[in-house]
Chains A and B, each alone.
Chain A
Amino acid sequence: DAGVTQSPTHLIKTRGQQVTLRCSPKSGHDTVSWYQQALGQGPQFIFQYYEEEERQRGNFPDRFSGHQFPNYSSELNVNALLLGDSALYLCASTSGGLYEQFFGPGTRLTVL
């Protein structure tokens, strides 16, 4: 059973550029959440997708947007990149009931 997968593993961009990160949830899961983790900090919730709709959103600007596809995979898009967007981006998946979250390996984004 494949767990949560994310691509790419690492990414280097320059300020002002746009980036797209991808996530495939664990088999049987229908809900995908995205988190941003700055160095030395706990992950911060960005948003959550369920049934192809954004269900919850954290305190992140509109530059952060996402999408969920019919197969439950998801994308995170960040426009007009800032130096402060450099972080580890984590995807988590779950299904209803206990809502136990399973995380992927993350995408390390560096903005120069």
Chain B
Amino acid sequence: KQEVTQIPAALSVPEGENLVLNCSFTDSAIYNLQWFRQDPGKGLTSLLLIQSSQREQTSGRLNASLDKSSGRSTLYIAASQPGDSATYLCAVSIYNQGGKLIFGQGTELSVKP
């Protein structure tokens, strides 16, 4: 059974700091991995999708890496800003399951001015 874990559960950093969020999964037979952002009480915004054959994806100040063999992904945020404060969720999809996502519990990020 696939399980996804995110550490830490919460993180507080000063503005301008570079930071790394971690995601681990127990079954390496994934189809892809997505990182999402969620503001309080809102829906999920897709940040990055990494296909199983890829090692990393970049969008602006965000960089996500994937190591299937070790069951790990990281989301790197450069030069953090107060507007980056949100909960960050990672989710994996499994082969032959039509894109069904299995989520971690999220990392709540607070960037202090």
Residues of A in contact with B (beta carbons under 8 Å apart): 4, 6, 31, 33, 35, 40-45, 48, 50, 55-56, 58, 88, 90, 92, 94, 98-106, 108
Q: Does B89 contact A (CB under 8 A)?
A: yes
Contact yes or no, A42 B98, CB < 8 A: no
State in angstroms the CA–CA spacing of A6 and B43 once bound together: 10
A42 pairs with B41, CB closer than 8 A: no
- Known A-B contacts A41-B105, A42-B105, A98-B32; A48 and B41 likewise in contact (beta carbons under 8 Å): no
Residues A45 and B105 in contact in the complex (CB < 8 Å), given A104-B43, A106-B42, A108-B41: no
How far is it, in angstroms, between the C-alpha of A99 and the C-alpha of B95 when the chains are bound?
A: 11
Q: A103–B103 Cα gap in the complex (Å)?
A: 14
**Residues in B lying within 8 Å of A, measured CB to CB:** 4, 31-32, 34, 36, 41-46, 49, 51, 89, 91, 93, 97-106
How far apart are the CA atoms of A103 and B34 in the complex, in Å? 12
Cβ contact within 8 Å between B49 and A98: yes
Cα A6 to Cα B51 in complex, Å, equals 28
Closest chain A residue, CB of each to CB of B44: A103
Would you call A99 and B46 a contact (CB within 8 A)?
no
Structural contact, B43 and A100, CB atoms closer than 8 A: no
| A48 lies within 8 A of B102 (CB) | no
A101 touches B43 (CB 8 A): no
Interface centre among A35, A40, A94, A103 (most CB of B within 10 A): A103
Asked if A56 contacts B97 (CB within 8 A), the reply is: yes
